[in-house]
Amino acid sequence: MSKSTALLIIDVQKFLIEHAFQGHALANRIKKLLSRARDLQIPILYAQHCEPDGEFAIGTPTWEIYHTISPQEHEPVIRKFACDSFWDTPLQDELASREIKQLVIVGLQTEYCIDTTSRRAVSLGYNVTLVEDCHSTLDSPVLKAEQIIAHHNQVLNGFGTENNGIVVKCSDTLFI
């Protein structure tokens, strides 16, 4: 893994971990990646979804980043108010200041923030690795969470640009 790689952890908040498909198992897999990234001094950034009311209202217990994968003091937490972790946030500036070119993306929710941020990162010129068993979601009225995850893993695995997205298992990431 090069010095220009960062781990981007998206929306691993208490509410989502508690309700997502295999949420606690997901948290354990992310914790393993996080620990290894820290051991290798790979930069780690968090994106945290915020809303004016409800489960993601700033400061509510369900808005908090899940306790087993919470950031250390030097790891930035980017507050966002949209599915796109880059939109109207300092994420791109943070990555540029660290000369990051490769993003390893994990977190929640697959069809919203993971999909949108992965696509936007590729559009901005980043090489993206999506860890296929380190993102999750909830059932929708149309599809089960497992189907949504499988669909996005297939679609986001090299979706036709110069900076193809690559989907890999947690155990196959380069820093494990």
For the chain, give the mean pLDDT.
Answer: 92
Mean pLDDT value of segment 44-65: 97
- Per-residue confidence (pLDDT) for residue 176, from 0 to 100: 47
Of 48-52, 90-94, 131-135, 164-168, minimum mean pLDDT range? 164-168
DSSP state string for 103-167: EEEEEE-IIIIIHHHHHHHHHTT-EEEEEEEEEE----SSS-HHHHHHHHHHHTSS-SSTT-EEE
The CATH number of domain 5-172 is 3.40.190.10? no
Q: How far apart are CA 140 and CA 143, in angstroms?
A: 5
Q: Which of 55-59, 115-119, 171-175 has the lowest mean pLDDT?
A: 171-175
pLDDT of residue 156: 86
Mean pLDDT of 66-93: 98
Contact 153, 130 (CB under 8 A): yes
pTM above 0.85, yes or no: yes
Residue 5 to residue 163: CA distance in whole angstroms: 14
